[in-house]
């Protein structure tokens, strides 16, 4: 008699021919290219991993807006919610992620009434330069794509 599992999620089997080149079944497989320069055995540019890692942190929705608002100085949670227009749940999630990445510091007051301020860490302050560059690029290339 076959084994049966109650309340288990369906199991999806993925054929290895559909895996990406790095063996990750969750990424799209690499499509063959007609460009011979791209087909060489060269490794990716040395900074590509760093770019991908950086965009995973500051490229998520609302993270850039939160970091940008915090450049004004330490803000309370509701001030961040009001200034960004995002939901409390989303801001809470993003602040937690930015704290884990070391870009935002959470400071709790000791005196009553107890309140929490969020401020940029030195790493967070350094990220503003990248955000500024992305903003300039977006204004130049994405707002007027026909001119490019």
CB-hemisphere CA count at 13 Å for 124? 27
Which pairs from 105-114 meet CB under 8 Å and 24+ separation? Answer: 107/74
Check residue 112 and give its pLDDT.
Answer: 87
- Record the pTM: 0.63
Check residue 5 and give its pLDDT.
Answer: 42
Domain ranges of the chain: 47-147
Exposed/middle/buried for residue 103 (C-beta within 10 Å: 0-12, 13-18, 19+): buried
Fold classified for 47-147: Arc Repressor Mutant, subunit A (1.10.10)
Per-residue pLDDT of the chain (148 residues; tens, 9 = 90+): 444 444 444 443 333 344 444 444 444 444 444 444 444 455 555 567 888 888 888 888 999 999 999 999 999 999 999 999 999 999 999 999 999 999 999 999 888 888 899 999 999 999 999 999 988 988 888 877 666 5
């Amino acid at each position: 008699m076959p084994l049966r599992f109650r309340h288990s999620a369906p199991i999806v089997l993925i054929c290895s021919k559909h895996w990406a080149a790095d063996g990750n079944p969750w990424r799209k497989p690499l499509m063959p290219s007609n460009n011979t320069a791209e087909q060489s055995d060269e490794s990716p540019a040395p900074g590509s991993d760093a770019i991908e890692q950086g965009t995973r942190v500051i490229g998520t929705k609302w993270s850039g807006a939160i970091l940008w608002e915090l450049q004004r100085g330490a803000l309370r949670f509701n001030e961040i919610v009001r200034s960004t227009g995002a939901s409390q749940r989303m801001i809470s999630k993003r602040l937690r992620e930015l704290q884990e990445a070391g870009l935002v510091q959470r400071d709790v007051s000791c005196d009553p009434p107890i309140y929490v301020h969020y401020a940029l860490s030195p790493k967070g302050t350094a990220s503003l330069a990248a955000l500024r560059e992305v903003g300039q690029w977006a204004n130049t290339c994405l707002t007027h794509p026909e001119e490019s």
